[in-house]
Chains A and B, each alone.
Chain A
Amino acid sequence: AAMSRKGVKLLVDSLTRSAKHFNKSEVECLVNLFDTLVARASSQFAGAGFDRTVFRDTLHSAFGMTDDVVLDRVFSTFDRGNNGCITVVEWVEGLAVLLRGTLEEKMKYCFAVYDLNGDGYISREEMFQMLKNSLLIQPADEEPDEGIKDLVEIALKKMDYDHDGKLSFEDFEKAVRDEKLLLEAFGPCLPDIK
């Protein structure tokens, strides 16, 4: 159902405050984009939002993000209501972090993406999942999984500060503060600057 003009204005104001990183006209654009996407989506959610498929396609075409595992996780971080539908609020606030987040916000976001089961830790198995296609050239005399397992160990050695065999958010934060390049350690989940 379309909103009244006043309703739109209230929404834009409220979003500008909560999302923090966009100005009013930018929020307006995003809201308009949202409406377009909703129109494209199935009417499953009765116009309240759009689903996973539309989300993935949009991020793919807008930011060139292709990794399905990652995209799934990004959807989950956006979908705070956890109902498989992205509302306009979730949309704008999610993009705020993606495009203009502070280092703190981005760290939380990336960690959430990488924490596949949402239990507050990135485990060896989760790391394996995310890195399993990262070794393009395998040495012939090695088991294919060995290479990835070793890489997981290397990553843990680098980032597991409390030595409990898994990465808590504190571990991750410390590692990124020490070396900013590790923000997207387990796969690109932020849009490219270019």
Chain B
Amino acid sequence: IFSKASSSLEDLGESSSETDEDEQPIRRQEGGTDLSPEYWGIQKLAKYIKGGDPTATLIALCSMRDLNLSQEVCQLAIKDTGCLEVLINLLDTEEIKCQTGSLKILKEISQNALIRHAIADLGGLEIMVKILDSPDTDLKCLAAETIANVARFKRARKTVRQHGGIKRLVELLESISVESSSQAEDTETARCGALALWSCSKSTKNKKAIRKAGGIPLLARWLKCSHTNILIPIVGTLQECASEPSYRLAIRTEGMIEDLVKNLSSEHEELQMHCASAIFKCAEDEETRDLVRKHEGLQPLSALLDKSENKQLLAAVTGAIWKCAISRENVLKFQEYKTIETLVTLLTDQPEEVLINVIGALAECCQEQENRGAIRRCGGIAPIVKLLTETNHALLVNVNKAVGGCAMEPENMLIIDSLDGVRLLWSLLKNPNPDVQASAAWALCPCVENAKNSGEMVRSLVGGLELIVNLLKSKDKEVLTSVCAAIANIAKDQENLAVMTDHGVVPLLSKLANTNNNKLRRHLAEAIAHCCMWGSNRVAFGETKAVAPLVRYLKAKDPLVHRATALALYQLSEDPNNCVIMHENGVVKV
């Protein structure tokens, strides 16, 4: 019926979190069956490691480091010659120099996914965790850094935890005082320990283990250090763990928001990104949103929008701004910094990840009337409407919200309508995702209310009324609620109400009446109230048994429900049969 324009924007989405390599990585078929020269070189050296005394072993190990260990050919050769096993066996001896020499190699080659899996398979992780107990600092650092590399897949992280690795890493960091980290040795130990912890923290059970081992006050302490290369993994860990409510609570109560805000002004973009990410996750909570404002974090966030070439940073910052904008006081602050205007410039030519957040932020800012006008004045309406043709569900949900927010101003509505915005929104009612459907329906409410010639506009959408009435058959509560709200608005136009009645809106509404969900009850009652005003709908509602349940709504505690229900009952009472039913159900008493 109406065409759903296919998305013309390419999917530039970058994922900021590492893709997890849970399955065994597949080895690329190398051309040719000849063994590489690297293979022979390594095999020769492996001979001395396997069969030599520590002196010979060390010479061979040191020599091996001169080979280009970052090349895959070399890395695979170490595995294929059986040298990897030998290296791991060396770790199990008490020869500190040999352990050190071996780890220096393992640290390099564990950058390769195949090697990582092999190291884990050969039991290397358990040994490295044991080495964390060694008195030799260099050795501990190497072990920690190698663990950080290997733990990039789930099974490895589990192994580290099961062998007491999390505990030891936390203890490692506890054993150094933040102040003394001016000593090079201590700085290095802290850096490596933090890297390992960060790597491990990507698993949910490890996040819990870190917390149980006393990791949270530890992270709070290290958050105050001034070395960027320690701060990055520390904030990285915090940001990773901030998906857990217990961490978010601690971040708030242990005063970490202040430190995170402070580091937004760092010179290092990676650090800024992780701080913004942490704030993004924590700002789900109102108290955190207030804390960000109190510690003057909103201004640096807004300023960071200028760093638009760094997409990962931009995604984190826009995300933080989005969530902070849920609080009205923060929106007022953003107004001061002209954040809205800057956000509008980011509506085009940005990867999906950024767009979702930008649009989410603008949607929240529409809470304030001032901003709805500001968006229009800087030409924001058109790009927002254009985004209605996107396909990403999360993005669409936010776009719908933004369109709905803008549509609250009649002047904006003119533009939206001229750009075919209502038709595009209506199309989204056909989207398979219920969140998209619901958000579209919610957005349609202000559209219908504020459009010029609203009734005609709705009628012009071929099959549109039938579509929306049929959505009353959905199983999703939010869809039902939003559709009722939309129908309540549409029904204010008599002609459209007639059409909807023909499509069976009355029995469909009545079927929904038996619900305990107050939000649904409220909008359903409103819809019923407005749908009464046509033909014999009042009677029909009575016949389809909508009246009795409505009376029960009056027992709810929610005043909004009462108001809507009263309105509905008032309308329904114009039919004498309905009055009887109401009386039978004790409406006067209620």
Q: Chain A interface (Cβ within 8 Å of chain B)?
A: 131, 133-139, 147, 150-151, 154-155, 157-158, 179, 181-182, 184-188, 193
Contact = CB atoms under 8 A, between A and B. Distances in A.
B462 interface: no
A131 B56 contact: yes
B53 A134 contact: yes
Nearest to A142: B47
Contacts of B311: none
Contacts of A139: 47, 51
Contact of A193 (B47, B50, B65, B96): B96
Contacts of A138: 51
B63 A181 contact: no
A157 B62 CA distance: 11
B506 interface: no
Nearest to A192: B96
B45 interface: yes
A158 B63 CA distance: 6
Interface in B49-80: 50-56, 58-63, 65-66
Contacts of A131: 55-56
A181 B100 contact: yes
21 contacts: A133-B53, A134-B52, A134-B55, A135-B51, A139-B51, A150-B44, A151-B56, A151-B60, A154-B59, A155-B63, A158-B66, A179-B62, A179-B65, A181-B58, A181-B62, A184-B55, A185-B62, A186-B55, A187-B55, A188-B55, A193-B96
Best-buried of A133, A135, A147, A181 by chain B (most CB within 10 Å):
A181
Contacts of A147: 47-48
Interface residues of B, number: 24
Contacts of A135: 48, 51-53, 56
B61 A181 contact: yes
Given A135-B53, A154-B45, 7 more contacts: A138-B51, A139-B51, A151-B48, A154-B48, A181-B97, A184-B97, A188-B55
Given A137-B51, A181-B58, A185-B58, A157 B63 contact: yes
Contacts of B97: 181, 184
Contact of A154 (B50, B54, B63, B65): B63
Given A154-B60, A179-B62, A136 B51 contact: yes
Nearest to A188: B55
B261 to A, nearest CB: 42
A147 B51 CA distance: 10
A188 B100 CA distance: 16
Contacts of B53: 133-136
Closest 4 CB pairs of A and B: A137-B51, A134-B56, A134-B53, A158-B63
B236 interface: no
A138 to B, nearest CB: 7
Contact of A155 (B51, B59, B96): B59
B101 interface: yes
Nearest to B66: A158
A158 B62 CA distance: 8
Contact of B52 (A136, A157, A181, A184): A136
Contacts of B100: 181
Contacts of B59: 151, 154-155, 158, 182, 185
B69 to A, nearest CB: 14
A185 B59 CA distance: 7
A13 B568 CA distance: 106
A179 B104 CA distance: 11
A132 to B, nearest CB: 11
B143 to A, nearest CB: 16
Contacts of B58: 181-182, 184-185
Interface string B110-147: 00000000000000000000000000100000000000
Contacts of B101: 181
Contacts of B44: 150
Contacts of B50: 137
A147 B50 CA distance: 13
A184 B47 CA distance: 20
Interface string B23-60: 00000000000000000000011011011111110111
Nearest to A175: B62
Contacts of B48: 135, 147, 151, 154
Contacts of B47: 139, 147
Interface string B141-166: 00000000000000000000000000
A105 to B, nearest CB: 19
Contacts of A193: 96, 136
A134 B50 CA distance: 12
A136 B47 CA distance: 11
A157 B65 CA distance: 13
A133 B54 CA distance: 11
Best-buried of A133, A137, A151 by chain B (most CB within 10 Å):
A151
A161 to B, nearest CB: 13
Nearest to B53: A134
B46 to A, nearest CB: 12
B188 to A, nearest CB: 14
Interface string B205-238: 0000000000000000000000000000000000
B162 to A, nearest CB: 30
A155 to B, nearest CB: 5
Contacts of B56: 131, 134-135, 151
B435 to A, nearest CB: 58
A138 B60 CA distance: 15
Nearest to B61: A181
A172 to B, nearest CB: 13
Interface in B519-539: none
Nearest to B138: A180
Contacts of B61: 181
Nearest to A178: B62
B251 to A, nearest CB: 41
A89 B60 CA distance: 38
A182 B53 CA distance: 15
Interface string B88-103: 0000000011001100
Nearest to A179: B62
